[in-house]
Amino acid sequence: MRRVIFWTALLTAGFLLAGCKSQASAADSIMAYLQARVQSDVDKMIGLSCPEWEAQARIEASTFKALNAQLDGMSCEDSRADGNTTLVSCKGKIVTTYNGETREWSLSERQFKTVLDDGEWRMCGYQ
């Protein structure tokens, strides 16, 4: 009888945990977006974007495609929230190399605008 109660409790806990969706922060979503961007992963970028940003995500996916892009020292944090919108500030840089020339793109030059869409933070522009 104890085994039945134990297994029932274990299964119930498993179902409860499976139903809980861990929500990433807005900063986590932007870091994932930037990682997808340096990898030119258009599908992932679109999946991390709000509907209004999807066309721009397609354009951004192509910008570093031939540039051997990498993230260097990236860290992001939520900086200002207003309802379903959160601005994210990042530090670090994107480093690109093309024809032997290295170029650095600072992530701190602008803030990333995210919106809460269907329980997920999504990239939706710059501030």
Domain count, the chain: 1
Assign residue 105 the CATH number of its domain: 3.10.450.50
pTM score: 0.81
Q: What does the pLDDT profile of the chain (127 residues) look like in tens digits?
A: 544 343 333 334 443 333 444 478 999 999 999 999 999 999 999 999 999 999 999 999 998 888 999 999 999 999 999 999 999 999 999 999 999 999 999 999 999 999 999 999 999 999 9
Q: How far is CA 125 from the centre of its chain?
A: 13
Tell whether 13 is covered by a domain: no
Which residue's entry shows tokens 């104890």? 2
Cα dihedral 18, 24, 28, 32 sign: positive
- Which residues constitute the domain of residue 91? 31-126
Tell whether 4 is covered by a domain: no
Q: Measure the CA angle with vertex 118, ends 92 and 23; round to 5°.
A: 50
Tell whether 107 is covered by a domain: yes
Per-state percent for the chain, helix, strand, coil, to nearest 5: 40, 35, 20
